[in-house]
Amino acid sequence: MNLSVPLESASKLGQLWGQLVVTEKELPQMALTDTEIRKAKPKLKTFKMFDRDGLYIEISPKGGKWWRWKYHHGGKENRLSLGVYPEVGLKSARDRCFVLRQKLAEGIDPGVVRKAEKQSLGGGDSFEAIAREWVGKFASTWSASHGDRILIRFEKDVFPWLGRRPIAEIKAADLLAVMRRIASRGALETAHRAIQSCGQVFRYAVATSRADRDPTGDLRGSMPTPKEKHHASITEPRRVGELLRAIDGYEGFFVTKCALRLAPLVFVRPGELRQAVWSEFDFDAAEWRIPGERMKMREQHIVPLSRQAIEILRELEPMTNRPLQGKPDAPRYVFPGGQSRERPMSNNAVLAALRRMGYPKEEMTGHGFRSMASTLLHEKGWNHQAIERQLAHAERNAVSAAYNYAEHLPERRKMMQAWSDYLDKLKLNFNVIPFLKTAT
C-alpha cells in the first residue's frame, strides 16, 4: 500500500498541525467559578488563573486581582486589561471578553481600538490619562493596597463620567455631580476620599502645565462631613484585664494565640503585626524594626520590646523561625497562616479569634489594641509625643515634616516596659495604681 502524501498536501497538513499544537499553558482550562476567584490567595510570585477564550485573572503577591485577555492578531500575541476583581465580576469580565472577541472576528484589533478611544476627547490631557500618569508616578511611595484602592475608586466612580474629558475643562460643578452620585448610595466617606484624590490629580496637572487650577477647593462645604469612625476598643481597666485573661485561655491555633498575646504589648497596626518576619527582630537590643515599605507613613518604625513581648516571641520562635523546604531565602513569617508558612496569617485571623472568645466587632477589633493603649497611656500621664511616635502617627505640619523614627526612643522604651507590667497586673486582677511616668 502506497502511504506517501503529495508534497502540496503534506504542506497543508503541516500548517493545520501547527495551528493545533499548543503549549501546556494554553491547553483548555476548566472555566472558573466566582467562589474559586474569591478564595484564591496570593503567593510569593504573581500567578494566573485561566477561565476560557483567552480570559484569565492575574493575582499579585499583594492580593490584587486583575482581569486580562490574551488574543492573537496579525500573527502577534497581545493582552488587554479588563478591570479589577471584585469590582469587575466574573460575568462582567466574560461579557467584556465577548465584545472584544466579536471585534477580533471582524478583523479589528481591539488593542488598537482601545488606544484610539484613550486618545479621543482630550487624549493625553484627559482626566483619566493624567490620573493614571499620577498614580504611576507615585505608586512606589504607597503600599500596593493603597494604590489599588485609589485606582479602583477612579475606575468605578470617576472615569465613567469624567475620564475622557480634557482636565482643563472640568469645573467644580462637574465634580460635585459625580460626588453626589457616589454619596447617593450611602458612600459619603468614599465621596470625600474621591474628592481628595481628584484634588491631587488636578494639582499634578497644574504642576505639569496641563491645567490652570484645582477646582476641588470650590467644593468645600458642598457635602456633609462623614461621621468619624472609631475602631471598637475596650479601655476600661477591669474589662481590659478580662480580655487579657480570655486571650491566655484561648484554645485555637497556637500562632494566632501568640499574635493575640503580643498585640496589646506592641499595639502596631494589624497588617504590620501579621506580616512581621523574624529578620526584623533584635532580641539583644530588645527592638523590632519595621521597614518603611510596610508602614502607613512609609518610614521605618522602631518598636521597643518589653520583657514580656520577648518571652512570647521566644516561645513561638522554634515553631515558625525555620527555613522553608527548598526556599532557604524566603521570608520567615512570625505569624504564618495555618495552611502554609509561605504566607502570613490572614487579616481576619485575630478578628475571628476575638469573635470565638465572645467579643463582637462592635466591642473589640484587632485595631482596638491601639486605641486601648493610646487611651490608657494618655490617662496615666505619659508624654503625648512619645505615645504618638509609638503609634507611628507622623505629624504632618511643616515643623515636623521630617519624620524621626527614633524620636523619644529612651522614654518610649521605659513606657513600653511600664505598659506591659501594668497589663500583667490588670490580668491578675490587682487593684492597680496609676503607672505614671517616672523621673529619669
Q: What is the 3-state secondary structure (H, E, C) of 354-406?
A: HHHCCCCCCCCCCCHHHHHHHHHHHHCCCCHHHHHHHCCCCCCCCCCCCCCCC
pLDDT at 17: 41
Residue 136 or residue 261, greater confidence = 261
Q: Where are the domains of the chain?
A: 24-106, 123-219, 237-321+331-427
Mean pLDDT lowest among 69-83, 101-115, 236-250: 101-115
Which set of grid coordinates corresponds to residue 248?
491566655
Look at residue 374 and tell me whether its pLDDT is greater than 70.
yes
Under a CB-based contact definition with an 8 Å cutoff, are residues 303 and 287 in contact?
A: yes
pLDDT at 118: 57
Helix (H) or strand (E) holding 36: helix 34-39
Instruction: Tell the CATH topology of 237-321+331-427.
Output: hpI Integrase; Chain A (1.10.443)
Under a CB-based contact definition with an 8 Å cutoff, are residues 163 and 121 in contact?
A: no
Which set of grid coordinates corresponds to residue 35?
467562589
Taking the domain 123-219, which CATH number applies? 1.10.150.130
Look at residue 392 and tell me whether its pLDDT is greater than 70.
yes
> What rounded mean pLDDT belongs to the chain?
83
Look at residue 232 and tell me whether its pLDDT is greater than 80.
yes
Residue 326 or residue 126, greater confidence = 126
Task: Name the residues annotated as catalytic.
Answer: 269, 296, 367, 370, 393, 403
Task: Convert 325-355 to b/e letters by CB count within 10 Å (16 or more is b).
Answer: eeeeeebbbbbbbeeebbbbbeeebbbebbe
When pLDDT is averaged across residues 390-406 and rounded to a whole number, the result is 58
pLDDT at 18: 42
Predicted confidence band at 146 (pLDDT cuts at 50, 70, 90)?
confident
- Write the pLDDT tens digit of every residue in 290-334: 988 788 766 788 999 999 999 999 999 999 998 888 787 778 999
The Cα–Cα gap between 205 and 333 comes to 42
CB atoms within 10 A of CB 63: 13
Look at residue 275 and tell me whether its pLDDT is greater than 60.
yes
Which set of grid coordinates corresponds to residue 416?
513600653
CATH number of the domain at 24-106, out of 1.10.150.390, 3.30.420.10, 3.30.160.390, 3.40.50.300? Answer: 3.30.160.390
When pLDDT is averaged across residues 182-208 and rounded to a whole number, the result is 90
Mean pLDDT lowest among 27-36, 288-297, 335-344: 27-36
pLDDT at 241: 93
pLDDT at 347: 81
**CA-wise closest residue to 152 among 214, 282, 63, 285:** 63
Residue 190 or residue 327, greater confidence = 190
When pLDDT is averaged across residues 227-231 and rounded to a whole number, the result is 62
Look at residue 7 and tell me whether its pLDDT is greater than 60.
no
Helices (H) and strands (E) in the chain, counts: 17, 7
Which set of grid coordinates corresponds to residue 360?
463582637
